[in-house]
């Protein structure tokens, strides 16, 4: 039946540190209502009855057919009109059941209380996913996606086992963000198969800036691992190295050019570009000409170097405001 709904209400699940949710996007409509996307509270890795979850989804789908939406969903960008099938299955996952990380990015939300975020225990997800495959709850479709949030995924005890299971079952579109500090053979395998896309944010082209932002001594190691992943990947360039423009820290052409040098030197073919979230939130819509020019410069440079470029929505928003006066540091 044709109606406006979303993949996550129909087929999605998010595993969080202490609950299950429909998705991880409820916060986009405001922190006050995001709790409405919770479908099971106090959850810590127990096997549960999927009929309970599908009953909640059925109720929401019926509401969507009548044009009724949760406040947390009303203006969501993921709502769209299509012919939704009636079958109950899961093909959208977000794993956010841990927050521990082997890096200390100064812009990370976990920096509010790193000790607390690093102390949350991960729960066992491998048996849950295995059980889902056994019961036929997971269905692979063209639209399937598996997202690892976190925390740093490669330090999860079950990470390689879980990835191997998804790969074994032929799953694709597995999206992983990693600090790049720990090399994972299963990620390399997934890159080779074209089943995993990996983003590693280095934000710097030299050790000093890296250590200032990341607060760990791992610059060399991370680029070594990037080089290994770049070698392992198949033809579709699913490894992306990211630069988050962080005003006052790495927003200068010298750093940006050094970063491009590392990208090329280490065999990377695709890059991503974003703007630090807090800076973005406090400055929008009054961005500076300097940031605009640096984003435009990185876009131009990527093209010149033959790199695929993905621009995140924050940087795109800056680019859209193209009426800036030229700055003193302009490279154009």
- Contacts with ligand SF4 by CB under 6 A lie at 6, 8-9, 22-23, 25-26, 37, 72-73, 76, 78-79, 101, 103-105, 108, 110, 151-152, 179
Residue 304 CB, shortest distance to ligand SF4, in Å, is 29
What does the alpha-carbon distance between residue 177 and residue 147 come to, in Å, rounded to a whole number? 9
- Of the candidates 153, 151, 260, the residue with the CA atom closest to the CA atom of residue 202: 260
Q: How far is the CB of 80 from ligand SF4 (least distance, A)?
A: 9
> Cβ of residue 321: shortest distance to ligand SF4, in angstroms?
26
Q: Which is nearer to ligand SF4, 103 or 268 (CB)?
A: 103
Nearest distance in Å: CB 210, ligand SF4: 12
How buried is residue 206: exposed, middle or buried, by Cβ count under 10 Å (0-12/13-18/19+)?
A: middle
Shortest Å distance, C-beta 296 to ligand SF4: 25
**Phi-psi domain of 150 (left: phi exceeds 0; alpha: psi -120 through 50; beta: other):** left
DSSP 77: T
Identity of the residue, 105 or 311, whose beta carbon is nearer to ligand SF4 in the bound complex: 105
Q: Kindly state the smallest distance separating residue 152's Cβ from ligand SF4, in Å.
A: 5
Q: Which is nearer to ligand SF4, 118 or 257 (CB)?
A: 118
| β-strands 2-5, 38-40 pairing | unpaired
Q: Where are the beta strands (DSSP E) in 226-317?
A: 239-245, 270-275, 308-311
Q: Report residue 307 CA to chain centroid gap.
A: 20
Nearer to ligand SF4, 87 or 168 (CB): 87
Rounded to the nearest angstrom, the gap between the alpha carbon of residue 64 and the centroid of all alpha carbons in its chain is: 27
Considering the complex, state which of residue 76 and residue 163 has its C-beta at the smaller distance from ligand SF4: 76
The two tokens of residue 38 are 């919770």
Q: Which is nearer to ligand SF4, 52 or 71 (CB)?
A: 71
């Amino acid at each position: 039946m044709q109606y406006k709904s979303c993949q996550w209400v129909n087929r999605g699940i998010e595993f969080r540190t202490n609950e299950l949710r429909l998705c991880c996007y409820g916060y986009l409509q405001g922190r006050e209502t995001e709790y409405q996307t919770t479908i099971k509270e106090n959850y810590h890795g127990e096997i549960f009855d999927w009929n309970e979850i599908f009953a909640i989804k059925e109720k929401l789908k019926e509401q969507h057919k009548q044009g009724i939406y949760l406040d947390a969903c009303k203006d969501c960008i993921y709502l769209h009109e299509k012919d939704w099938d009636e079958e109950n299955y899961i093909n959208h996952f977000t794993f956010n059941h841990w927050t521990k990380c082997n890096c200390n990015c100064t812009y990370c939300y976990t920096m509010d209380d790193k000790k607390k975020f690093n102390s949350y225990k991960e729960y066992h997800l491998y048996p849950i996913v295995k059980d889902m495959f056994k019961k036929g709850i997971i269905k692979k479709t063209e639209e399937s996606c598996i997202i690892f949030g976190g925390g740093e995924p490669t330090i999860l005890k079950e990470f390689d086992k879980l990835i191997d299971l998804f790969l074994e079952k032929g799953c694709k579109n597995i999206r992983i963000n990693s600090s790049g500090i720990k090399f994972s053979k299963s990620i390399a395998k997934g890159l080779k198969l074209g089943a995993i896309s990996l983003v590693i944010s280095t934000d710097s082209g030299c050790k000093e800036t890296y250590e200032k932002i990341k607060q760990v001594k791992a610059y060399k190691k991370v680029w070594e691992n990037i080089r290994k992943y770049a070698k392992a990947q198949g033809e579709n360039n699913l490894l992306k190295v990211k630069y988050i423009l962080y005003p006052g820290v790495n927003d200068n052409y010298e750093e940006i050019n050094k970063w491009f040098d590392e990208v090329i030197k280490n065999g990377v073919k695709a890059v991503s570009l974003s703007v630090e979230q807090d800076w973005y939130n406090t400055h929008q819509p009054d961005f500076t000409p300097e940031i605009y020019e640096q984003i435009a410069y990185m876009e131009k440079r990527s093209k010149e170097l033959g790199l695929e470029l993905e621009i995140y929505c924050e940087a795109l928003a800056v680019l859209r405001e193209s009426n800036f006066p030229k700055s003193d540091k302009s490279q154009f």
